[in-house]
Structure 1
Amino acid sequence: MRLKTLSTTSFMVLLCVAALASDAVAQSVCLPSPRLLTTMPMGGQAGTDVEITITCQNVDDPEELIFSHPSITATPKLNDKGLPVENQYIVKIGEDCPAGIHDVRIMSRLGISSARAFNVGTLPEVTRTKPNITLANAMALDLNSICNATMTNRQVDYFTFEAAKGQRIVVDCAAGGIDSKLTPVLIVADAAGNDLNVERRGGAIDFTAPEAGKYVVKVHDLTFNGGATYFYRLALQTAQPEQSVPRLPATSTVSSFSWPPANLSNDSIIAEAEPNKLSSNAMKVDLPCDISGSFFPAADVDVFEFTAKKGEVWWVEVASERLGRPTDANVIVQHVAGDSENETITDVAELTDITHPIKVSRNHYSYDGPPYHAGSPDVLGKVEIKQDSIHRLQVLDLFGGTRNDPSNIYRLIIRKAKPDFAVIAWALHMELRNGDRNALSKPLALRGGYTIPLEVAAIRRDGFNGDINLQLTNLPDGVTATGLKIPAGQTRGILLVTADESAPRGLSFAEFTASATIDGAEVTRHGHLAAHRWPVTNARSEIPAPRLMASFPVSVGGSEATPITIAAAEDKVWEVTAGEKLTIPLVQTRRCEFSGPKMKLKTYGHGFDAAAAFDVPLTADTSDAVLDTAALKTAPGEYTIAFYGSAVAKYAYNLPAVQAAEVAAEAAKQKAAEIKAETKAAADAVALLADAATQTEDEEAATARSAEVEAAKTHLTELEARQKAADKEVVATEARLKQAQSRSNPKDIVDIVVSKPVRIRVTPKTETAAK
């Protein structure tokens, strides 16, 4: 997708720079990025048109709503004069649009915004428009429908429905799974409001009406919070007694990026056969196998029995949490010796969580790692068979003792090694102020001359341990991406996305892939993008909530350039002999003033990431980076690195808006002055005509004069109305100018600075040089 040309935007992230943190308390954090905050309603029925209203932050000159699925399109709502209504759109959902969650964003001056979940369903939908915080004004809902609403602060929202005796109704509420801050409490009550069923843990209520009549649904937040960001979708669905009713769809967790394994087929799945809780009734399977089961009823343990031979190695993978279930799978494999009456059981392996590929933040406040949990409480591990004979595998939910939900399903796969990997990317960040997580929901909206680093995490599967190379393709014009590979044996890499200073305005849905050599063959896997639903300015008050994005949009805003660009003096491969020092001259292109005379830079990139930090001046155009390959013990080879740090820029927001507001204010004043002069001339003409009319003695002439006076007065009245409107417009344009000037006043904003990628070739030391 391409948009009209202009220049550039940026996406800013956050990382741990302790030296700056204490100095940054008084500054704002991160340059403004466009954010889509809410839509109302949050979705619609496939095959219908929906009128939605949005709220945004840092969105100027909005162009269009953009959805992650092509069957959803939007056009601005027009008023009676054919002009767009601010923040209102008509969304057309195609009949072929798949049910589920899709992302919606808005393209604006600064580029593409952050995403908000947009839900497409098969049921008719309504939107609550009137208060319903008492039983007396409860909103009536039809069965088999969905209501979109916003939680009323410190209140309970009331709804009613009619049910027949014995009718089964499933009441569900989507909130956290659609980006809402609401933790819903659901209650089904009788017509008088007396509670019958209560659900406080995020589940649905499966209700069978004891009598025909009216029933009440109450909804409130667990801590009675409310407001625009506490939105929800309430569904009432009828069902037959044994019918399975799926929950309302939810966005995918970050951990789910590692499921399913590549080329996984459903052709050979076998269903778990109950009862199989005890060794005596273990379900017998042949390896390899692929089993579907569920952690049901509460405290369920499923036991499987198979025969294996000494020396065999099997890999066991369980998916449940990655399927969206609130489970924590555990697997124990045991060797069985002897007959059924004299069995000897020996533990072979216990498999628990999939380890987080990157150390994550422990408390979400003091930064000690990204708050993205790419690992999972699911299972992925190796079982080495030590003895021939029968083995038993038991799988259970560690916290399933009180969970009595048949939808807590799992998939158990036991296979020979199939080395592979999965990757995920998110905006790398610094903690520029203690507790700040402001950048985590920012989009890839690039300013000219800016480089955004993406942190890439990998889950390695079945013993794969090789290099993983990273690519990002299908980028806007003027944008390039450079992958700093994930080295063999490691699980973290960096992807640098750079916009040229002159990059034109544009938007593309990028393709994120990673490649590696496995068993002599080149393998490519598609990666995912993760981001946080909301910015978190103080993690003491709010825990970051990340999710997977449905697409990978990259944009250039075209209206601004980044405050500073750092690049090597020449775009070339810099060569150095192993064991020697390499000096790389750097050029600092500064576009505004900065607080402080210098900033400290560190180094990204395998082979050089342990390089000592160094200072670069913020008052000069050049500096040097010195890399000691002897101290770093950098082996010969090809490398790509970048330098990163942070600086406090004196940033002015949207200066073109000030210029436009000045032109508009001057034009309004000029127009008002012209109308004022015309009004004065008309008033003088009325006075002259009136005076002449009084002096006319001829009756016919006097009548004509009177008509002229009335016409002149009518014209004067019209001019006075126009003058009043023009004066009002002068006041309005001056207010807009004042507001634009206030927003554009330079403010100290601490932000990340990442250099353009630097390529380095370390050549082997020759024997002569060694001597």
Structure 2
Amino acid sequence: MNCPPSMENCIVLPDICKPAISKLAICKFGWQLMFLLCFADWNMSSSLVYAQLPTAELHTLSRSVVQLGSKFDLSLQGSRLEEADQLLISDLMGNPIDAQVSARMAPSAPLQDWRTTTGTFDVLLGPDTQAGMVEVRCRGRFGLGTPRRLLLTDVPVIQPATGHNHLNTALAVASEQLIHDRTLAQGSNFYRLTVQPGQVLRCVVYSQQLWSAANLRLRLRNGKGQLLVTSQSMGAWPAEIQWPHAGSEVQDYILEINDLLARGGAAFDYVMESRIDSLPAPDTNHPSLPKMYLDTLLRPSLDAIPNTAAWLSPSGAACLPANASDYTAIPAQPITQFPVRLRGSLPESSRIDFEAEAGQVLTFDVASAKLEQLTAHEQVIYKLPSDPASDATGLAPIVDQDDRPFLGTPAVRLRQIDPQLTWSAPETGRYRLQLLDNQSGVRPNDARGFLLEIRPANPSFSLIAHWAFPTNNVALSKPIGCQIQRLGTQQIHVTAVRHDGFSEPIELHVEGLPPGTLCANSRIPAGASEAVLNIQAAADATDGHSAIQVVGTARIADQDHHVSAVPATITAAASPVYNTITTARTGKLELAVQSLDLAPVQVQAGNAAVIEVKPNTKIQLPIQLLRQPGSAAECTLRPQSLPAKVTLGEVKVPGDQTQVSPELSVAGDAAPGEYTF
């Protein structure tokens, strides 16, 4: 690394200009603590800043479902993909998938220093590739694009052309075919199936697992167009129907699919499977129907946690419980030994009796919604009479726990619907845990399961890491890939999920960095949940890419505990129709170094020394800009994620200046601690 010591804390933002980092110590009672301040979102008024290349954004793929063993073409849709000449395919753990990939190149243009592509790749997967979900990324002049999901199947996949958007033009579909299609804005797709007497028609349609924005509605109509039954998708659960044909003649049925919010286009795709089977005879020993193929790949299940984790939300993936085989049925007798792992389904398994001693601290940890079950649990603990024969009705609750607060930023917001309660028994005796389900509405029968661990309090933590979108308004974040130029930087946002009362600081570092890059360690302060890491590239950094890993270390019970962060990604920005940023777990954080271009501006806040300051103090924060030729434009610096009670206003740096000293104010009640922003 060739950066001078004074530049060790420089941060460079990937889209327009670069942020800076500074160290500030807030001292109280004669001891020293430290703030790390990162300034993000730099706006420059001159077009000269376009020398800083923005980052590729892969929004959709031309197909999200393909059959194994066949060569297929894959076209990319998004922003800044015209020079993407590599396609990287990996499994959901980030391991490369064997594939032959070739880009369709565009004709060369005069004075071109990088070949452009048509955005289409020819792909043939290796013979040992298994059915299931994989991730696709592209790489080129504008870095690594955002990952997208691709479902691999063992059965044929039909991707129909347009024209089946009316009842009279319904597409004829055969049993056991997979259809990959997209919803229509202000319209519907129609499919026709022929059913014989004594047969049953079934259909499932999935979207969320494909990282699709579609919220599906499935309708079944008879051949005359009369509506028979309606279903809709819920989270990771499909829209599904099962309809036995009770007539004595052959009957045509029509399946209609649309988006509940009447949206459509490339980002609203789905995969449908329809199946026609003979109805089992009433006296058969095997009355169940064959399982739908898509259900084996995509249906959430507590018995397939590693598979379900493929499309978990970041918070679910970060708090993934042990294998479901370790969980047993709830016993009829009170539980006396801990830890214990139980499983059940609401409302049947809603009461768990146990015994505890006075002062005994236990944690009750439910895993249900985080495993894509359609539940909203609440925990209530009652004190039971000492005599088991006494009436246990009319008990008054002594403690209850519902949803926990949201964690993270609006970009990657972690919903903690599953309650986690750490509780101290007030006296020795018998107690009852009651699990309530605050979710209402009709749900699939297998969508209300839960796993429950009751354990002695065991403080610990989980981490979630994602590339930070370069904006001062985090609510405007959208999917972003990764690129770091020479003398550039990339920022990783890290969120901690604390368990069982753990509140100690967490030290952060990055492993697996490409040659020519480095990342200063960071820290999540005691009791806090957020921090950032800033990766820098040297002036002589060379092209390459590698998967990196964010690791957190904390002192728990006099031992160092190391935790690897779960990588996450933004899959869709908020919109006027759906004002929520959607996120998902991804297989890896991958960093690409691009050596052809040089970052135009670097910003250094402070210097290598720690700035010491006490509460109720104002200081001048020295900021220096290092400009490359052609970057003499006004910069607007807006501080982001400052510590509570610390203020720093917007700073403008004229194009002909390289140094400013804005005033930073620390309030009298600012909490001492070490922070990273």
TM-score band, normalised by shorter chain: 0.7 to 0.9
Asked if residue 260 in structure 1 is aligned to residue 260 in structure 2, the reply is no
Q: What's 1:739 paired with?
A: none
Residue aligned with 1:36, SS: strand
Q: What's 1:414 paired with?
A: 454
Asked if residue 10 in structure 1 is aligned to residue 14 in structure 2, the reply is yes
Match of 2:288 among 241, 245, 252: 241
CA distance in 2, matches of 1:71, 1:330: 42
The answer to whether the 8 Å contact 2:13/2:489 transfers is no
Match of 1:505 among 516, 533, 543: 543
Asked if residue 330 in structure 1 is aligned to residue 378 in structure 2, the reply is yes
Q: Deviations over 1:430-449 (max 9, x none)?
A: 7557x971x42111222333
Residue aligned with 1:477, SS: coil
Match of 1:546 among 565, 572, 583: 583
CA distance in 1, matches of 2:204, 2:598: 47
CA distance in 2, matches of 1:602, 1:121: 48
Equivalent residues in 2 for 1:133-282 (5 A)? 133-202=165-234, 203-211=238-246, 213-237=251-275, 241=288, 246=295, 249=298, 251-261=311-321, 264=322, 266=324, 268-272=326-330
Deviation at 1:21, TM superposition (A): 12
Residue aligned with 1:485, SS: strand
Code of the residue aligned with 1:43 in structure 2: it is V
The answer to whether the 8 Å contact 1:257/1:422 transfers is no
Code of the residue aligned with 1:189 in structure 2: it is R
Name the TM-score, length of structure 1 as normaliser. 0.69
CA distance in 2, matches of 1:554, 1:383: 42
Q: What's 1:381 paired with?
A: 421
Deviation at 1:398, TM superposition (A): 0.5
Match of 1:492 among 516, 530, 537: 530
CA distance in 1, matches of 2:540, 2:559: 40
Structure with greater strand share of residues? 2
Deviation at 1:204, TM superposition (A): 2.8
Question: Residues 403 and 137 of structure 1: is their aligned pair in 2 closer, same or farther, counting only changes over 3 Å?
Answer: closer
Code of the residue aligned with 2:97 in structure 1: it is S
Deviation at 1:545, TM superposition (A): 1.6
The answer to whether the 8 Å contact 1:440/1:531 transfers is no
Match of 1:71 among 93, 97, 107: 97
CA distance in 2, matches of 1:507, 1:221: 38
CA distance in 2, matches of 1:127, 1:381: 48
The answer to whether the 8 Å contact 1:603/1:613 transfers is no
Asked if residue 104 in structure 1 is aligned to residue 104 in structure 2, the reply is no
Question: Residues 541 and 324 of structure 1: is their aligned pair in 2 closer, same or farther, counting only changes over 3 Å?
Answer: closer
CA distance in 2, matches of 1:258, 1:589: 39
Structure possessing the higher radius of gyration over alpha carbons: 1
Q: Deviations over 1:130-150 (max 9, x none)?
A: 421234433233322311112
The answer to whether the 8 Å contact 1:189/1:197 transfers is yes
Equivalent residues in 2 for 1:441-480 (5 A)? 441-480=479-518
Q: What's 2:78 paired with?
A: 56
Q: Deviations over 1:653-692 (max 9, x none)?
A: xxxxxxxxxxxxxxxxxxxxxxxxxxxxxxxxxxxxxxxx
Question: Residues 500 and 586 of structure 1: is their aligned pair in 2 closer, same or farther, counting only changes over 3 Å?
Answer: farther
Structure with greater helix share of residues? 1
Asked if residue 423 in structure 1 is aligned to residue 483 in structure 2, the reply is no
Q: Greater relative contact order (Cα 8 A, min sep 6): structure 1 or 2? A: 2
Residue aligned with 2:478, SS: helix
Deviation at 1:335, TM superposition (A): 0.9
The answer to whether the 8 Å contact 2:550/2:564 transfers is yes
Residue aligned with 1:117, SS: strand
Residue aligned with 1:357, SS: strand
Match of 2:357 among 282, 290, 309: 309
CA distance in 2, matches of 1:628, 1:432: 20
CA distance in 2, matches of 1:19, 1:47: 47
Deviation at 1:554, TM superposition (A): 1.2
Residue aligned with 2:209, SS: helix
CA distance in 2, matches of 1:20, 1:103: 29
The count of corresponding residues between Structure 1 and Structure 2 is: 601
Gaps of 5+ in 1: 1-7, 274-281, 361-369, 643-771
Match of 2:63 among 41, 45, 57: 41
CA distance in 1, matches of 2:190, 2:276: 19
Q: What's 1:754 paired with?
A: none
Deviation at 1:90, TM superposition (A): 2.6
Equivalent residues in 2 for 1:501-580 (5 A)? 501-536=539-574, 542-567=579-604, 572-574=608-610
Deviation at 1:38, TM superposition (A): 2.0
Code of the residue aligned with 2:415 in structure 1: it is G
Identity rate, percent: 18
Deviation at 1:460, TM superposition (A): 0.8
Match of 1:355 among 400, 405, 428: 405
Match of 2:435 among 389, 395, 415: 395
Q: What's 2:625 paired with?
A: 588
CA distance in 1, matches of 2:489, 2:117: 36
The answer to whether the 8 Å contact 1:166/1:208 transfers is no
Q: Deviations over 1:164-215 (max 9, x none)?
A: 5444554222223322222211122333433322113444323143155543
Q: Deviations over 1:445-489 (max 9, x none)?
A: 223333333321111111222111112221223222233211122
The answer to whether the 8 Å contact 1:45/1:122 transfers is yes
CA distance in 2, matches of 1:95, 1:386: 61
Gaps of 5+ in 2: 1-11, 20-37, 108-114, 278-286, 299-309
Deviation at 1:429, TM superposition (A): 5.0
> 623-632 or 339-348, which moves further after superposition?
623-632
Q: What's 1:319 paired with?
A: 367
Q: What's 1:292 paired with?
A: 343
Residue aligned with 1:177, SS: helix
Question: Residues 477 and 19 of structure 1: is their aligned pair in 2 closer, same or farther, counting only changes over 3 Å?
Answer: closer
Residue aligned with 1:256, SS: helix
CA distance in 2, matches of 1:219, 1:634: 55
CA distance in 2, matches of 1:609, 1:110: 38
Question: Residues 490 and 630 of structure 1: is their aligned pair in 2 closer, same or farther, counting only changes over 3 Å?
Answer: closer
Name the TM-score, length of structure 2 as normaliser. 0.77
CA distance in 2, matches of 1:319, 1:598: 47
Match of 1:617 among 653, 663, 677: 653
Code of the residue aligned with 2:74 in structure 1: it is I
